[in-house]
Amino acid sequence: MDVDSKVELASRDAIEIVTPEELRSLYETSSKPAGYIGYEPSGFVHAGQIITASKIIDLQNTGVEMTIFLADWHALINDKMGGKIENIRACGEYLRDCFMALGVRDTAKFVWASDLINHSSYWEKFIRISKASSLTRIKRAMTILGRTEDEAEIDASKVMYPPMQAADIFELGADIALAGMDQRRAHMLARDAAEKLGWKKPIALHTPLLVSLLGAGRMDPVDAKMSKSNPNSAVFLHDSPQEISKKIKGAFCPAEVEGNPVVDIMRLIVFPKLGSVHIDRPEKYGGPIDFASFAELQQAYASGKLHPQDLKKGVSDSMSTLLLPVREYFEKNPENLEKVKSLSVTR
């Protein structure tokens, strides 16, 4: 694969790359770049992670050696899974299953935060990043935890989280830091610190967020994203077709395209993964209809030719098809999913 093809594939469906010029230069100078994406093990994985998993696969296909970072100590700081490290680690094993079920190549390396914290080099990076960053800047970055700045006044450990996340990137030697847009401030903190410290800047590659099924209104997409703590706001990877249908039927789905979470699932997941969509409709409403592109569906919905209930039916059927391999994976490998089901999922 030539450089142009690698850049195109790596950039596909990304909402932001900081910077495109650095990404091209990386592919021109390295045949095996190092990529990183971090996850807090904090509960069931929802459909929004199909977007990042697809991008992991894209990067792997361009020769990037991906590390999936299981941030167990970060989850502890963020009060996830009841604040119990054993629950967090059990959830991390389930996370590993999810990525394998979504088709991430087994060449991906899984690394725990626990693997790094015993290294003095990690804590040196943490301290140097902290010294290169103002407290105000670090507190602004606390949105990456889903937290407000004021929460640091109650629990000072929260302030450690942003420089820890930046230190993860440097300790792993990542050339590319991949995440949803909700993690942008951590990546920018890392890049700014790198500039001040004379370190290699990580390229930041950001994917769009899937908003809550309950609707975002005028909320920032970061605040309105799907939440694993509210089952009605998200389709989980292991949901049955019946559960998917029930959640989509109850989803916010206005007549317009903008701010419509059901339309967004079509745009961000269904068409990128399936390429086309078939929607069954009763004959009295025009019969079955096929869409070869999202643009066709968008035009039909915006003009009123496609009814919200038909759109929901199309999304339910498409997501059930997409998630069949995941359900089959967990039927064969149920242990970690069943363990997480027995645990308390917080936030």
DSSP letters of 314-334? HHHHHHHHHTHHHHHHHHHS-
pLDDT at 289 over 90: yes
Return the SS3 of 289.
strand
Average pLDDT rounded to a whole number, residues 247-263: 95
Taking residue 109's Cβ as centre, other Cβ atoms within 10 Å add up to 13
pLDDT at 147 over 90: no
Give the architecture-level CATH label for domain 3-207.
Answer: 3-Layer(aba) Sandwich (3.40)
pLDDT at 221 over 80: no
What pLDDT, in 10s, does the model give residues 156-166?
888 999 999 99
What CA–CA distance (Å, rounded) separates 125 from 118? 13
Q: What is the model's pLDDT at position 98?
A: 97
Q: Of all helices (H) and strands (E), which one includes residue 178?
A: strand 176-180
Both structure tokens of 247: 């959640």
196 or 214, higher pLDDT = 196
What pLDDT, in 10s, does the model give residues 23-50?
999 999 999 999 999 999 999 999 999 9
Per-domain residue ranges of the chain: 3-207, 240-322
- Mean pLDDT lowest among 72-76, 114-118, 148-152, 317-321: 148-152
Assess whether the region 3-207 and the region 240-322 belong to the same CATH fold: no
Q: What is the model's pLDDT at position 343?
A: 86
Confidence band for 138, pLDDT divided at 50, 70 and 90: very high
Which residues are CB-contacts of 30 (< 8 A; sequence separation ≥ 6)?
175
What pLDDT, in 10s, does the model give residues 96-137?
999 999 999 999 999 999 999 999 999 999 999 999 999 999
Confidence band for 63, pLDDT divided at 50, 70 and 90: very high
pLDDT at 62 over 90: yes
Q: Nearest-CA neighbor of 39 among 26, 56, 22, 23? A: 56
| pTM of the complete model | 0.90
pLDDT at 219 over 50: no
Confidence band for 178, pLDDT divided at 50, 70 and 90: very high
Specify whether domain 240-322 bears CATH 3.40.980.10.
Answer: no
Block residue for tokens 């967090």:
88
Q: What is the model's pLDDT at position 215?
A: 80
Task: Tell me the Ramachandran region of residue 212: left when phi exceeds 0, alpha when psi lies from -120 to 50, beta otherwise.
Answer: beta
Average pLDDT rounded to a whole number, residues 325-329: 97
